[in-house]
Structure 1
Protein backbone atom coordinates (compact mmCIF):
# COMPACT_ATOMS: atom_id res chain seq x y z
CA UNK A 1 0.00 0.00 0.00
CA UNK A 2 1.13 3.54 -0.61
CA UNK A 3 0.20 7.04 0.40
CA UNK A 4 -1.03 9.10 -2.54
CA UNK A 5 -1.20 12.88 -3.01
CA UNK A 6 -4.56 14.49 -2.24
CA UNK A 7 -5.93 17.09 -4.67
CA UNK A 8 -6.53 20.54 -3.23
CA UNK A 9 -9.58 22.66 -4.17
CA UNK A 10 -9.99 24.28 -6.64
CA UNK A 11 -9.20 21.40 -8.98
CA UNK A 12 -11.62 20.62 -11.83
CA UNK A 13 -11.49 16.88 -11.05
CA UNK A 14 -13.14 17.57 -7.67
CA UNK A 15 -16.23 18.92 -9.46
CA UNK A 16 -16.77 15.93 -11.78
CA UNK A 17 -19.43 13.22 -11.42
CA UNK A 18 -17.65 9.87 -11.05
CA UNK A 19 -18.36 6.71 -13.02
CA UNK A 20 -19.50 3.50 -11.30
CA UNK A 21 -16.93 0.81 -10.53
CA UNK A 22 -17.66 -2.03 -12.98
CA UNK A 23 -15.84 -4.76 -11.09
CA UNK A 24 -14.21 -5.02 -7.68
CA UNK A 25 -10.89 -6.58 -8.74
CA UNK A 26 -7.36 -6.61 -7.30
CA UNK A 27 -6.60 -3.15 -8.74
CA UNK A 28 -9.67 -1.69 -7.07
CA UNK A 29 -8.86 -3.43 -3.77
CA UNK A 30 -5.32 -1.99 -3.94
CA UNK A 31 -6.77 1.46 -4.60
CA UNK A 32 -9.08 1.08 -1.57
CA UNK A 33 -6.07 0.07 0.57
CA UNK A 34 -4.02 3.02 -0.69
CA UNK A 35 -6.94 5.33 0.01
CA UNK A 36 -7.27 4.08 3.60
CA UNK A 37 -3.53 4.48 4.18
CA UNK A 38 -3.65 8.00 2.67
CA UNK A 39 -6.70 8.89 4.80
CA UNK A 40 -5.11 7.67 8.06
CA UNK A 41 -1.84 9.45 7.22
CA UNK A 42 -3.57 12.79 6.48
CA UNK A 43 -5.19 12.27 9.13
CA UNK A 44 -8.85 12.11 8.21
CA UNK A 45 -12.00 10.03 8.72
CA UNK A 46 -13.04 9.74 5.06
CA UNK A 47 -11.65 9.98 1.54
CA UNK A 48 -13.20 9.69 -1.91
CA UNK A 49 -11.41 8.47 -5.05
CA UNK A 50 -11.81 11.82 -6.89
CA UNK A 51 -9.71 13.44 -4.14
CA UNK A 52 -6.84 11.39 -5.59
CA UNK A 53 -7.80 12.32 -9.15
CA UNK A 54 -9.53 8.96 -9.78
CA UNK A 55 -13.03 9.56 -11.11
CA UNK A 56 -14.63 6.34 -9.89
CA UNK A 57 -17.34 5.75 -7.29
CA UNK A 58 -15.24 4.56 -4.33
CA UNK A 59 -15.06 5.99 -0.81
CA UNK A 60 -13.26 4.89 2.33
CA UNK A 61 -13.97 5.91 5.90
CA UNK A 62 -13.30 5.15 9.53
CA UNK A 63 -15.01 7.40 12.07
CA UNK A 64 -13.47 5.74 15.15
CA UNK A 65 -11.41 8.50 16.73
CA UNK A 66 -11.13 7.41 20.37
CA UNK A 67 -7.59 6.70 21.53
CA UNK A 68 -6.96 2.95 21.74
CA UNK A 69 -10.29 2.03 20.07
CA UNK A 70 -10.25 -0.64 17.37
CA UNK A 71 -10.27 0.96 13.89
CA UNK A 72 -13.25 0.16 11.66
CA UNK A 73 -11.99 0.82 8.13
CA UNK A 74 -14.65 0.62 5.42
CA UNK A 75 -14.35 0.69 1.63
CA UNK A 76 -17.61 1.34 -0.21
CA UNK A 77 -17.81 0.81 -3.98
CA UNK A 78 -20.73 2.52 -5.75
CA UNK A 79 -22.29 3.78 -2.49
CA UNK A 80 -25.80 5.15 -2.74
CA UNK A 81 -28.10 6.71 -0.14
CA UNK A 82 -31.39 4.82 -0.37
CA UNK A 83 -33.13 6.45 2.62
CA UNK A 84 -32.58 9.50 4.78
CA UNK A 85 -34.21 10.62 7.99
CA UNK A 86 -36.30 13.76 8.23
CA UNK A 87 -34.37 14.64 11.38
CA UNK A 88 -31.31 16.76 10.66
CA UNK A 89 -27.93 17.11 12.32
CA UNK A 90 -25.36 19.89 12.12
CA UNK A 91 -21.69 18.95 12.22
CA UNK A 92 -18.62 21.09 11.75
CA UNK A 93 -17.18 19.55 8.58
CA UNK A 94 -13.72 19.73 7.11
CA UNK A 95 -12.17 18.12 4.05
CA UNK A 96 -8.73 16.78 3.19
CA UNK A 97 -9.02 18.63 -0.15
CA UNK A 98 -9.78 21.89 1.70
CA UNK A 99 -7.20 21.75 4.53
CA UNK A 100 -7.70 23.68 7.76
CA UNK A 101 -11.11 25.06 6.74
CA UNK A 102 -14.21 24.07 8.68
CA UNK A 103 -17.89 25.01 8.60
CA UNK A 104 -21.19 23.81 10.00
CA UNK A 105 -23.19 21.75 7.49
CA UNK A 106 -26.72 20.47 8.04
CA UNK A 107 -27.49 16.96 6.75
CA UNK A 108 -29.94 14.14 7.50
CA UNK A 109 -29.15 12.67 10.94
CA UNK A 110 -29.50 9.08 9.68
CA UNK A 111 -29.11 7.49 6.26
CA UNK A 112 -29.43 4.01 4.80
CA UNK A 113 -26.68 3.30 2.28
CA UNK A 114 -26.19 0.42 -0.11
CA UNK A 115 -22.80 -0.39 -1.64
CA UNK A 116 -20.52 -3.20 -2.81
CA UNK A 117 -17.67 -4.23 -0.46
CA UNK A 118 -14.07 -5.27 -1.26
CA UNK A 119 -15.21 -8.87 -1.76
CA UNK A 120 -17.83 -7.82 -4.32
CA UNK A 121 -20.74 -8.50 -1.93
CA UNK A 122 -23.80 -6.24 -1.86
CA UNK A 123 -24.15 -4.48 1.50
CA UNK A 124 -26.65 -2.16 3.14
CA UNK A 125 -26.40 -0.41 6.49
CA UNK A 126 -27.89 2.44 8.46
CA UNK A 127 -25.47 5.15 9.55
CA UNK A 128 -26.03 7.78 12.22
CA UNK A 129 -24.13 10.51 14.07
CA UNK A 130 -20.63 11.19 12.68
CA UNK A 131 -20.79 8.10 10.42
CA UNK A 132 -23.92 9.50 8.69
CA UNK A 133 -22.27 12.88 8.14
CA UNK A 134 -19.08 11.28 6.85
CA UNK A 135 -20.74 8.88 4.40
CA UNK A 136 -22.89 11.71 2.98
CA UNK A 137 -19.87 14.03 2.69
CA UNK A 138 -17.87 11.35 0.83
CA UNK A 139 -20.76 10.36 -1.48
CA UNK A 140 -21.11 14.08 -2.31
CA UNK A 141 -17.51 13.97 -3.59
CA UNK A 142 -18.56 11.27 -6.08
CA UNK A 143 -21.14 13.70 -7.47
CA UNK A 144 -18.73 16.65 -7.67
CA UNK A 145 -20.08 18.36 -4.55
CA UNK A 146 -17.84 19.78 -1.80
CA UNK A 147 -18.96 20.70 1.71
CA UNK A 148 -18.34 24.37 0.90
CA UNK A 149 -21.10 24.12 -1.75
CA UNK A 150 -23.55 24.12 1.21
CA UNK A 151 -22.22 27.49 2.41
CA UNK A 152 -23.19 30.98 1.35
CA UNK A 153 -21.35 32.48 -1.63
CA UNK A 154 -19.16 34.86 0.40
CA UNK A 155 -17.89 32.17 2.77
CA UNK A 156 -17.35 29.78 -0.17
CA UNK A 157 -15.38 32.42 -2.13
CA UNK A 158 -13.28 33.26 0.92
CA UNK A 159 -12.34 29.60 1.45
CA UNK A 160 -11.64 29.13 -2.28
CA UNK A 161 -9.29 32.16 -2.27
CA UNK A 162 -7.44 30.68 0.73
CA UNK A 163 -7.03 27.38 -1.14
CA UNK A 164 -5.70 29.14 -4.27
CA UNK A 165 -3.15 30.92 -2.07
CA UNK A 166 -2.23 27.64 -0.31
CA UNK A 167 -1.69 25.90 -3.68
CA UNK A 168 0.56 28.77 -4.84
CA UNK A 169 2.59 28.56 -1.63
CA UNK A 170 2.97 24.77 -1.94
CA UNK A 171 4.01 25.09 -5.60
CA UNK A 172 6.82 27.47 -4.56
CA UNK A 173 8.02 25.27 -1.68
Structure 2
Protein backbone atom coordinates (compact mmCIF):
# COMPACT_ATOMS: atom_id res chain seq x y z
CA UNK A 1 0.00 0.00 0.00
CA UNK A 2 1.30 3.42 -0.95
CA UNK A 3 1.50 5.69 2.10
CA UNK A 4 1.33 9.49 2.26
CA UNK A 5 4.71 11.17 2.49
CA UNK A 6 4.59 13.98 5.02
CA UNK A 7 5.67 17.40 3.79
CA UNK A 8 8.07 19.94 5.21
CA UNK A 9 6.60 21.63 8.28
CA UNK A 10 5.08 18.49 9.80
CA UNK A 11 6.26 18.17 13.43
CA UNK A 12 7.03 14.44 13.00
CA UNK A 13 9.97 15.40 10.77
CA UNK A 14 11.52 17.26 13.72
CA UNK A 15 11.21 14.50 16.34
CA UNK A 16 14.11 12.33 17.32
CA UNK A 17 12.71 8.90 16.45
CA UNK A 18 12.46 6.03 18.97
CA UNK A 19 13.99 2.55 18.75
CA UNK A 20 11.62 -0.31 18.08
CA UNK A 21 11.53 -3.94 19.23
CA UNK A 22 11.27 -6.98 16.96
CA UNK A 23 7.60 -7.38 17.92
CA UNK A 24 6.68 -3.94 16.55
CA UNK A 25 3.11 -4.36 15.19
CA UNK A 26 2.92 -5.26 11.48
CA UNK A 27 6.61 -4.45 10.91
CA UNK A 28 6.90 -6.57 7.76
CA UNK A 29 3.84 -4.89 6.30
CA UNK A 30 5.20 -1.44 7.19
CA UNK A 31 8.54 -2.18 5.51
CA UNK A 32 6.77 -3.47 2.37
CA UNK A 33 4.55 -0.36 2.29
CA UNK A 34 7.56 1.92 2.73
CA UNK A 35 9.38 0.26 -0.21
CA UNK A 36 6.27 0.65 -2.36
CA UNK A 37 5.88 4.29 -1.29
CA UNK A 38 9.54 5.07 -2.00
CA UNK A 39 9.50 3.48 -5.46
CA UNK A 40 6.20 5.16 -6.34
CA UNK A 41 7.81 8.55 -5.55
CA UNK A 42 11.05 7.65 -7.42
CA UNK A 43 13.13 7.98 -4.27
CA UNK A 44 16.40 6.27 -3.34
CA UNK A 45 15.73 6.42 0.40
CA UNK A 46 12.84 6.78 2.81
CA UNK A 47 12.67 7.09 6.59
CA UNK A 48 9.71 6.22 8.83
CA UNK A 49 9.23 9.86 9.98
CA UNK A 50 8.54 10.70 6.32
CA UNK A 51 5.45 8.48 6.46
CA UNK A 52 4.40 9.96 9.80
CA UNK A 53 6.01 7.44 12.19
CA UNK A 54 8.61 8.67 14.72
CA UNK A 55 10.46 5.33 14.76
CA UNK A 56 14.04 4.46 13.83
CA UNK A 57 13.64 2.74 10.47
CA UNK A 58 14.94 3.85 7.12
CA UNK A 59 15.63 2.15 3.83
CA UNK A 60 17.92 2.77 0.91
CA UNK A 61 18.03 1.50 -2.68
CA UNK A 62 20.74 3.30 -4.65
CA UNK A 63 20.24 1.35 -7.90
CA UNK A 64 18.90 4.45 -9.77
CA UNK A 65 22.27 6.17 -9.22
CA UNK A 66 24.18 3.27 -10.77
CA UNK A 67 23.73 4.49 -14.35
CA UNK A 68 25.17 7.96 -13.60
CA UNK A 69 27.94 8.36 -16.18
CA UNK A 70 29.75 10.93 -14.00
CA UNK A 71 30.57 8.16 -11.51
CA UNK A 72 33.42 5.69 -11.79
CA UNK A 73 32.64 2.11 -12.88
CA UNK A 74 33.56 0.96 -9.35
CA UNK A 75 31.13 3.43 -7.76
CA UNK A 76 28.38 2.45 -10.23
CA UNK A 77 28.84 -1.22 -9.34
CA UNK A 78 28.67 -0.45 -5.61
CA UNK A 79 25.40 1.43 -6.05
CA UNK A 80 23.76 -1.10 -8.37
CA UNK A 81 21.49 -3.42 -6.41
CA UNK A 82 22.37 -1.90 -3.02
CA UNK A 83 19.11 -2.28 -1.10
CA UNK A 84 18.94 -2.33 2.71
CA UNK A 85 16.65 -1.66 5.64
CA UNK A 86 18.25 -0.01 8.69
CA UNK A 87 16.48 -0.44 12.05
CA UNK A 88 17.54 1.36 15.27
CA UNK A 89 20.58 2.71 13.45
CA UNK A 90 23.36 4.63 15.18
CA UNK A 91 26.20 6.35 13.35
CA UNK A 92 29.45 5.41 15.08
CA UNK A 93 31.71 7.74 13.10
CA UNK A 94 32.02 9.84 9.99
CA UNK A 95 35.43 10.34 8.39
CA UNK A 96 37.19 12.20 5.60
CA UNK A 97 37.10 15.65 4.06
CA UNK A 98 33.58 17.02 3.57
CA UNK A 99 32.35 17.21 -0.02
CA UNK A 100 29.39 18.86 -1.71
CA UNK A 101 26.64 16.97 -3.45
CA UNK A 102 23.27 18.14 -4.69
CA UNK A 103 20.54 16.64 -2.47
CA UNK A 104 16.78 16.57 -2.57
CA UNK A 105 14.11 15.03 -0.35
CA UNK A 106 10.69 13.47 -0.96
CA UNK A 107 9.32 15.55 1.96
CA UNK A 108 10.64 18.75 0.34
CA UNK A 109 9.70 18.38 -3.33
CA UNK A 110 11.34 20.55 -6.00
CA UNK A 111 14.05 21.84 -3.65
CA UNK A 112 17.60 20.71 -4.35
CA UNK A 113 20.74 22.18 -2.80
CA UNK A 114 24.42 21.32 -2.38
CA UNK A 115 25.06 19.82 1.05
CA UNK A 116 28.45 19.09 2.67
CA UNK A 117 28.92 15.64 4.20
CA UNK A 118 31.88 13.45 5.09
CA UNK A 119 32.62 10.72 2.54
CA UNK A 120 32.73 7.75 4.92
CA UNK A 121 30.29 6.56 7.57
CA UNK A 122 30.37 3.66 10.03
CA UNK A 123 26.93 2.67 11.24
CA UNK A 124 25.54 0.06 13.61
CA UNK A 125 22.03 -1.14 12.87
CA UNK A 126 19.65 -4.07 12.89
CA UNK A 127 18.65 -5.63 9.59
CA UNK A 128 15.12 -6.86 8.78
CA UNK A 129 15.82 -10.08 10.71
CA UNK A 130 16.93 -8.02 13.74
CA UNK A 131 20.54 -9.18 13.31
CA UNK A 132 23.01 -6.57 14.56
CA UNK A 133 25.46 -5.25 11.97
CA UNK A 134 28.24 -2.67 11.93
CA UNK A 135 29.35 -1.59 8.48
CA UNK A 136 31.33 1.17 6.83
CA UNK A 137 30.11 2.81 3.64
CA UNK A 138 31.67 5.48 1.47
CA UNK A 139 30.95 7.78 -1.44
CA UNK A 140 27.39 8.21 -2.62
CA UNK A 141 26.22 5.22 -0.52
CA UNK A 142 27.46 6.96 2.62
CA UNK A 143 25.71 10.16 1.61
CA UNK A 144 22.31 8.53 1.05
CA UNK A 145 22.62 6.71 4.38
CA UNK A 146 23.60 9.93 6.19
CA UNK A 147 20.65 11.78 4.63
CA UNK A 148 18.16 9.09 5.74
CA UNK A 149 19.82 8.78 9.16
CA UNK A 150 19.30 12.52 9.65
CA UNK A 151 15.55 11.94 9.25
CA UNK A 152 15.45 9.62 12.28
CA UNK A 153 17.36 12.28 14.22
CA UNK A 154 14.80 14.98 13.31
CA UNK A 155 17.20 16.73 10.90
CA UNK A 156 16.44 17.82 7.32
CA UNK A 157 19.01 18.52 4.62
CA UNK A 158 17.87 22.16 4.55
CA UNK A 159 19.15 22.49 8.14
CA UNK A 160 22.68 22.06 6.80
CA UNK A 161 22.46 25.07 4.47
CA UNK A 162 23.87 28.53 5.12
CA UNK A 163 21.68 31.13 6.83
CA UNK A 164 21.42 33.01 3.53
CA UNK A 165 20.31 29.91 1.60
CA UNK A 166 17.72 29.14 4.28
CA UNK A 167 16.38 32.67 4.03
CA UNK A 168 16.17 32.41 0.23
CA UNK A 169 14.26 29.12 0.50
CA UNK A 170 11.83 30.24 3.21
CA UNK A 171 8.94 31.15 0.87
CA UNK A 172 9.28 27.93 -1.13
CA UNK A 173 9.31 25.86 2.07
CA UNK A 174 6.22 27.69 3.36
CA UNK A 175 4.42 26.92 0.08
CA UNK A 176 5.33 23.23 0.39
CA UNK A 177 3.93 23.06 3.93
CA UNK A 178 0.67 24.60 2.63
CA UNK A 179 0.43 22.16 -0.27
CA UNK A 180 1.00 24.87 -2.88
CA UNK A 181 3.08 22.55 -5.03
CA UNK A 182 2.44 19.94 -7.70
CA UNK A 183 3.68 16.46 -6.84
CA UNK A 184 3.03 13.15 -8.57
CA UNK A 185 2.94 11.09 -5.37
CA UNK A 186 0.71 11.03 -2.30
CA UNK A 187 1.57 13.69 0.27
CA UNK A 188 0.18 14.99 3.53
CA UNK A 189 0.68 18.69 4.11
CA UNK A 190 0.78 20.02 7.68
CA UNK A 191 -0.83 23.36 6.96
CA UNK A 192 -3.86 22.19 4.99
CA UNK A 193 -6.60 19.92 6.19
CA UNK A 194 -6.73 17.23 3.50
CA UNK A 195 -3.96 15.04 2.08
CA UNK A 196 -3.69 14.73 -1.69
TM-score normalised by L of structure 1: 0.89
Deviations 1:23-64 (A, max 9, x none): 255612221121111111111111110011100000011111
3-state SS, counterpart of residue 55 of structure 1: coil
Say whether the 8 Å CA contact 1:10–1:160 is kept in structure 2: no
C-alpha change, 1:26 and 1:17, in structure 2 (3 Å) is: closer
CA contact (8 A) 1:36 1:73 kept: no
Contact 1:59 1:139 in 2 (8 A): yes
Q: Of 79, 101, 122, which residue of structure 2 is paired with 1:112?
A: 122
Provide the residue aligned with 2:180 in structure 1.
Answer: 169
Cα root mean square deviation, aligned: 2.1
List structure 1 segments (4+ residues) > 4 angstroms apart after TM superposition: 170-173
The reply on whether 1:74 has 2:62 as its aligned counterpart is no
Question: What is the TM-score normalised by the length of structure 2?
Answer: 0.79
Q: Offset of 1:109 from its aligned partner?
A: 0.3
Shift of 1:96: 0.5
In structure 2, what is the equivalent of residue 140 of structure 1? 150
Structure 1: segments with no counterpart, 5+ residues: none
Aligned to 2:37: 38
CA distance in 2 between partners of 1:141 and 1:16 (Å): 9
What residue is the counterpart of 1:23 in the other structure? 22
* In structure 1, C-alpha distance between the alignment counterparts of 2:170 and 2:83, rounded to whole Å: 30
Distance 1:25 1:11 in 2: 23
- Matches of 1:148 and 1:58, distance apart in 2: 21
Farther-moved stretch of structure 1 (133-142 vs 84-93)? 84-93
**For residue 51 of structure 1, what is the aligned residue in structure 2?**
50
Q: What are structure 2's unaligned runs of at least 5 residues?
A: 68-76, 182-191
Match in the other structure for 2:97: 87
> Are the equivalent residues in 2 in contact too, given 1:80–1:113 (CA < 8 A)?
yes
> Could you tell me how far apart the structure 1 residues matched to 2:174 and 2:32 are?
29
